[in-house]
Amino acid sequence: MPYTRRDTKAGYLFLAPWLIGLVVITIGPMLASLYLSFTDYNLIQAPRWIGLDNFAEMLSDEKLHNSLKVTFVYVAVSVPLQLIVALATALLLDRGMRGLAFYRSVFYLPSLLGSSVAIAVLWKQIFGTTGLVNQLLALVGIDGPGWVSNPDTALGTIILLHIWTFGSPMIIFLAGLRQIPRTYYEAAQVDGASRSRQFFSITLPLLSSIIFFNLILQMIGAFQSFTQAFIVSGGSGGPAGSTTFFTLYLYQEGFGKFDMGYASAMAWLLMVIIGLFTAINFLGAKYWVFHEN
Amino acid sequence: MRTKTIVKHTALIGVGVVMLYPLLWMIVSSLRPDDLIFRAPGLWLRDLEVSNYTGGWTALTHPFSRYLLNSAIVVFGAIIGNLVSCSLAAYSFARLEYRGRKFFFAIMLATLMLPFHVVVVPQYILFSELGWTNTFLPLIVPKFLATDAFFVFLMVQFIRGLPRELDEAAVMDGAGHPRIFFQILLPLMVPALATTAIFTFIWTWNDFFGALIYLTSPDLYTVPVALRAFIDAQGSSSWGSLFAMSIVSLLPVFVAFLFGQRYLLRGIATTGLK
C-alpha cells in the first residue's frame, strides 16, 4: 500500500512522545549501560575503561553466585507452583457458577497488593518468631522457628508470598478456558471420556498457549523481584544471604556502594539470562504448545 | 450434582479464607495493643486501640498526610502522562500507514520484555545530571514519553477493535487526524483509558524501587518509602503502628480495586497485565 504524506506526517507526530522516550529513556540508557559495564564508575570520577574486568570479577564473586542461586531457586519454584495453583483455581471456577464474580475478586486482590511494601511488612511479621504462623502452630502444640530469620526457610516465605498472588494468572486462565468450545466436552462425554481424560486431551492442549504466555510473563517478572526481599530482609538480603535476590545485590552494588560499572555489568548479565530463558522456553514450546490448524 | 457443587464451594471458600486471612488479621492487629498482637492469631477485637493510627501518623518527621500527598502528586502525574502519550502512540500504531510503523511496533513489543534494571543505572545518571534527583520528575516525566509499553499495546488492541468506518466517515466529512483522534476515537476508548488509569494508579502507588533511588529527602518520600523509613525508625518494636500505617497505605489501592475491578479484570484477561 502506498504511504500518503499526510499519514506519514501524522503518524510520526502521534508517535513522537513514544519515539523520544524510546531514544532517551530506553535505547540511549541501554547503550550507556553497555558502555558502563566495561568501566569503573562511581558517579563522581569519570568512567574509567577497564575492559572485561567487571565480567571477570563476576566469575569470582561469591556473593553474586549466591544471588544467582537464590534467584534461580525462587524462579524455578515459585513460578510453576503459582501457575499450578492459578490453573487449579481457574478450573474450579466454572462459568456460570454462583458467586463467580465474588471469588474472582477475592482471589485477585492479593495480586494487586502483593508487590507493596505494606504486604512485605505483613509477611515479615507473619513468619517472624512470634508471628501469626507460629501463633497458629502453638495452638496445636508446635513450637515454630523464626521463619524469616532462618536461612533455610527465609526464601520459602517469599516464595509463598509469590504464590499468594496467583490471581492475575488465574484471570488469564479463566479467559482462556472460556474460549474452549463446550461442544468438545459434550462430544467427549458422548464417547465416554473420563474427566481426567477430558482434562488431558482437551483442556490442557487447548490451554497450552495460555499456559506458555503466563509462564513467560511470570518468569520475566520473577527474575526482577525486588521489594519483597528488600523489606523482608531489611535491605540486607539476609539471613546468611538467603534472600539476596540478584536485583537486590545489583541495588546494593549500584546504589549502596555506587559501583555503577559493576551494577551495569550485572544488569546485562540479568538481561542475557532472561533472554536465554525466554529463548529456551520458546524453543521448548514447539514440543508442547498446541496450535489449532 | 448437588454435593459436587457444595464440595466445590467449600473448597473455594477455604482458599478464599486462606487468601484473605492475613489481610483481615493485619486490620485487626492494627487496632490491637502491641502485646496482644504477639499472642492472638484470632480475629476478635476486645476494645479498639486507635493509638496505633494516631501515634503512627505522626511518628516520622512529617505527618503521614505529607507522604500521602507526595504519592498522590506522583500518581496523578503518571496517570496523565500515560493517558496522553500512550493513546497518541496507540493511534499511530493502530490507524496510520507509514514507512517504519511495523518496525517500531515490533520494537515496542520487544520493550515489553526488557528488564527494567538494564536501563536503571544510566537513567539514574541522566536524571541526576539534569538535577532531577530529589524531585518527582524522574517518576513522572518518563510516563509522558509512553515508556509503559503495556498500555500502548492495550490501547492498540482496543483501537483495532473499533470499526474503521468511523474514521472513514470522518475523513469524508473533511476531518484531519487530530479530529478523528480527539473527537471520534478518544471518547470510544474510555474503557481502555480507565484500565490504564487504574493500573497506573496502583502500580505507581506501590512503586518502591523508583522512589527509593530518586527520593532521598524525607520531605519528598512517597508512601512506600515512608513505610520503609517507619520500619527503620520503629524496628519491630511496634507492629501495631506499623500495621496501622500499612493499612493506610493499602487503602487507596483497595478503593481503586473496588471501583475499577470491572476494568482491571478485563484488562488483564485481554493483555496479561499484572
Say if the Cβ atoms of A25 and B274 lie within 8 Å: no
Helix (H, G, I), strand (E, B) or coil at B43: coil
Q: What is the pLDDT along chain A (293 residues), one digit of tens a residue?
A: 567 888 899 999 999 999 999 999 999 999 999 999 999 999 999 999 999 999 999 999 999 999 999 999 999 999 999 999 999 999 999 877 888 989 999 999 999 999 999 999 999 999 999 899 999 999 999 999 999 999 999 999 999 999 999 999 999 999 999 989 999 999 999 999 998 999 999 999 999 999 999 999 999 999 999 999 999 998 999 899 999 999 999 999 999 999 999 999 999 999 999 999 999 999 999 999 987 65
Strand partners, A49: A39
pLDDT given for residue A203 in this prediction: 94
Q: Tens digit of pLDDT for each residue in B244-263?
A: 999 999 999 999 999 998 88
Start-end of H helices in B96-173: 101-111, 117-129, 137-140, 149-160, 164-172
CB distance B91 to B162 below 8 Å = no
In the A/B pair of chains, how many CB contacts fall below 8 A? 269
Residue spans of the domains in chain A: they are: 55-286
> pLDDT tens-digit profile of B34-49?
888 888 888 888 878 8
* Average pLDDT over every residue of B98-105: 95
CATH architecture of B53-270: Orthogonal Bundle (1.10)
- By Cβ distance, the residue of B16, B40, B122 closest to A103 is B16
Class of domain A55-286: mainly alpha
Distance CA A14, CA A1 (A): 20
pLDDT > 80? residue B273: no
**Shortest Cα distance from A287 to chain B (angstroms)?**
23
Cβ within 8 Å, pair A36-B121: yes
The reported pLDDT for the residue numbered B1 is 61
Amino acid B274: pLDDT: 55
- Indicate the pTM of the whole model: 0.94
B72-84 pLDDT, tens digit each: 999 999 999 999 9
Gap from A12 CA to chain B (nearest CA, Å): 7
Domain with CATH 1.10.3720.10 in chain B: 53-270
- Give me the torsion for CA of B248, A120, A214, A196, rounded to 10°: -100
Omega into A80 within 30° of 0, i.e. cis? Answer: no
**Interface predicted TM-score (ipTM) of this complex, two decimals:** 0.92
B146-186 confidence digits (pLDDT tens): 999 999 999 999 999 999 999 899 989 988 999 999 999 99
CB A131 within 8 A of CB A151: no
Alpha-carbon span A103 to A106, nearest angstrom: 5
The three three-digit cell numbers of residue B103, written as one number: 518496525
Q: What is the DSSP string of A133-161?
A: HHHHHHHTT-----GGGSTTTHHHHHHHH
On chain A, the residues whose CB falls within 8 A of the CB of B11 are: 92
What is the rounded average pLDDT for all residues in chain B? 92
